[in-house]
Amino acid sequence: MSESFIQLSDLRKTFKSRGEEFLAVSEVTFDVKAGELVSVVGPSGCGKTTILKILAGIHTYEGGSVNIGSQTNPFDPSKDIGMVFQQPLLLKWRKILGNVLLPAEILGLPRKESLDRARYLLEMVGLQGFEDKYPHELSGGMQQRTAIARALIHDPKLVLMDEPFGALDALTREKMNLELLRIWKESRKTILFVTHGIQEAVFLGSRVIVLTCGPARMADNITIDLPYPRLLEMKTHDEFGKYTRLIYKHLGMEDSEGSPSAITEACRID
Amino acid sequence: MNEISKQARRYGMIVLVHLGVVILWQLGVSISNIPDYVMPSAGATLLSLGEDYGWVHNTYVTAVEVFGGYGLAVVVGVSMALIFSWFRIIETLFMPLMISLNMIPKVALGPLFIVWLSYGVSTNILVAFSICFLPILLTMERGLREADPDLIDLVRTLRASRWQIFTKIQFPGSLPYLFSGMKVAVVLAVAGAIVGEFIASEEGLGYLMLQVQVTLDTAAMFMAVLLITLVGVVLYGLVLLLEYLLVGQTAKEV
Ligand SMILES: Nc1ncnc2c1ncn2[C@@H]1O[C@H](COP(=O)(O)OP(=O)(O)OP(=O)(O)O)[C@@H](O)[C@H]1O
Ligand SMILES: [Mg+2]
């Protein structure tokens, strides 16, 4: 349980656009243990998505090293990644069940087992009975839960979530946080959870990796010593506030009265 | 049950509105003193079908031109869009050209086609084709290009092949675009065929219109216009049916 599953060290990524080099990620180093849920926070444009896409093998990188998997826990990059984006990205011409099955089809998994598993996952995310609906018939939160079920259909070892609840209202978002913790507990996946929400990051993660922008650099790697299961009331605990204040401080907002979105904007301008 | 009665009411309304227009037309003409050669009544228009104008043959010829030109445009437009999306280099080279070609008023090419090919049904098929294939190509090309990059990234994490990305995401995603282009193209194909017949031909409804114009048989001209419209409506109906079969009731928002 405690060996590391992901090892990033000194990761460096540049984008070339119109002849100019742009350093997007620099000196990012962290480990994630198998079965851990780690949050990543940072201002907009600081390279969070870029890091996830490097882990997913969509982007190349210029320096440092990325290691996923170990001898005892091998990792197959084509089968062991589940990804959830900020938007649900469902195929609107497919029913919910068909959407969940997409990765299984691409990987050529046996149809029968995949169907059973899709039904099981839809039940797990609370969407039993919606199998035959089209995405546009579902609310934003339900669509996002479909996307989560889709990310789990091929039983990946690693789930990469890129601000999956960013587009939801605060209330739905808190509900989804609780559901994610439940799903994580049931499925025991390794989850890397990118978010803008400092509260959300602390509430979910056993650790929070704080990035600062232009280029993305590690500001801190904070172990959150709050017990699981996490309960909403913990957000009012002193300890919880201590963690969020620390993160606010890292992001250049000493005064904890500022809202997280204000920080986000402040850093983007540079 | 409720759904069916709602549909029935919708179609009932459509038929009623059309009937209403015909009745107003009939009443309007019979009440006023407009001479027949200016504005024939609905009844007179219908009666013109009794004249020996070769209605069936001429309608058939026009329909062949419209359907032929349109069918060709769909095949060529879709194939070209597919080639463009598979070979980006071809797209980079030829897409600007296609957009320029789209600006040519295709109707103006009619006389040229006749110089090159002499007149006849196949020339008119070509005129109909040339006027309606670019909208099909351009919308389909856009639809294939419009696939959400994040969605493509999502399946690339699963190491999806290019063919899988195409069949599962790009192609189905492009269909609503294609059908919006195909609907525009219906009207254009009809216009193209008729223009071809106007310029030079010896059969078809456009040709017939010019013939009866000479004798001031306005009722027959009206009938010809109605039949031309009917050809377009039938084609449009077929396109809607195809859209329903391929796209269903979802994803129809373009
Ligand atoms: N494909 C690309 N080409 C060029 N530059 C890019 C590309 N993708 C991202 N960037 C740049 O890299 C930086 C980091 O982008 P990234 O999407 O990783 O940010 P982020 O932290 O995910 O932001 P947000 O929280 O707003 O989603 C940005 O400045 C962006 O402009
Ligand atoms: Mg991002």
Half-sphere exposure of residue B129, counting CA atoms within 13 Å on the CB side?
Answer: 18
Residues contacting residue A233 through CB under 8 Å, at least 6 positions apart? none
pLDDT tens profile B85-140:
999 899 999 989 988 988 888 888 888 888 888 888 999 999 999 999 999 999 99
Cα of A46 vs centre of ligand 1, distance in Å, is 7
| Backbone φ and ψ of B91, nearest 5° | -60, -45
Query: What is the C-alpha to C-alpha distance for residues B234 and B249, in angstroms, rounded to an integer?
Result: 21
Q: Indicate the class that CATH gives domain A1-80+158-270.
A: alpha beta
- Crossing angle between the packed helical segments A140-152 and A170-187, to the nearest 10 degrees: 20
Closest ligand 1 atom to the C-alpha of A213? 21
Q: Is A214 helix (H, G, I), strand (E, B) or coil?
A: coil
Whether omega before A43 lies within 30 degrees of 0, making that bond cis, reads no
| Residue nearest atom 11 in ligand 1 by C-alpha distance | A24
Chain A positions touching B148 (Cβ under 8 A) are: 89
Per domain, the residue ranges of chain A are 1-80+158-270, 88-155
How would you write the pLDDT of chain B (254 residues) with one tens digit per residue?
577 888 899 999 999 999 999 999 999 888 888 888 888 988 889 999 998 899 999 999 999 999 999 999 999 999 999 999 999 899 999 989 988 988 888 888 888 888 888 888 999 999 999 999 999 999 999 999 988 999 999 999 999 999 999 999 999 999 999 999 999 999 999 999 999 999 888 999 999 999 999 998 999 999 999 999 999 999 999 999 999 998 876 544 44
DSSP-H helix ranges across A109-195? 111-124, 140-152, 170-187
HSE, side-chain direction, 13 A CA sphere, residue B34: 15
Residue partners of A102: CB distance under 8 A and separation at least 6: A91, A94, A150, A153, B155, B168
Interface with A, mutate which of B154, B165, B175 (most A CBs under 10 A): B154
d(CA A154, CA A150): 8
The residue contributing the CA closest to ligand 1 atom 30 is: A45
Atom 2 of ligand 1: nearest residue by CA position: A15
Taking the Cβ of residue B151 and every Cβ of chain A, the question of whether any pair is shorter than 8 Å is answered with yes
Length of chain A: 270
Q: In chain A, which stretches have pLDDT less than 50?
A: 256, 258, 260-270
Looking at chain B, which residue has its C-alpha nearest residue A83?
A: B154
| Number of H-type helices and E-type strands within chain A | 8, 9
Domain regions of chain B by residue span: 51-247
How much of chain B exceeds pLDDT 90, in percent? 70
Selected from 3.40.50.11820, 1.10.3720.10, 1.10.10.10, 3.40.50.2300, the CATH number assigned to the domain covering B51-247 reads: 1.10.3720.10
Give the closest-approach CA distance of B152 to chain A in angstroms: 10
CA gap B242, B240 in Å, rounded? 5
* Nearest ligand to the C-alpha atom of residue A25: 1
Query: What tokens appear for B149 in the block?
Result: 């990059």
Chains A and B: how many Cβ contacts under 8 Å? 52
Q: What is the residue-wise DSSP string for B114-154?
A: HHHH-SSHHHHHHHHHHHHHHHHHHHHHHHHHTS-HHHHHH
Whose Cα sits closest to atom 16 in ligand 1? Answer: A47
Give strand pairing partners of A20. Answer: A17
Site to probe by mutation for ligand 1, drawn from A11, A15, A160 as the one with most ligand atoms within 8 Å of Cβ, is: A15
Please indicate if any CB of chain A lies within 8 Å of the CB of B5.
Answer: no
Query: Which candidate, A12, A159, A140, places its Cα nearest to that of A75?
Result: A159
Strand ranges for A174-268 from DSSP E? 190-195, 207-212, 217-223
Cβ separation of A89 and B150 shorter than 8 Å? yes
User: Using CB atoms and an 8 Å cut-off, which of residues 166-185 of chain B contact chain A?
Assistant: 168-169, 172-173, 175
Q: How far apart are CA A46 and CA A50, in angstroms?
A: 9
Structure-token match 């669509």, residue found: A143
Q: Do A89 and B172 touch (CB under 8 A)?
A: no
Q: Are A70 and A5 in contact (CB under 8 A)?
A: yes
Give the SS3 label for residue A73.
Answer: coil
Distance from A79 to chain B by nearest Cα, in Å?
Answer: 6
pLDDT at residue B117, as a whole number: 87
How far is the C-alpha of B138 from the C-alpha of A74, rounded, in Å? 47
Which chain B residues contact residue A154 at CB under 8 A? 158
- Whether the CB of A195 sits within 6 Å of ligand 1: no
Q: Is the CB of A15 under 6 A from ligand 1?
A: yes
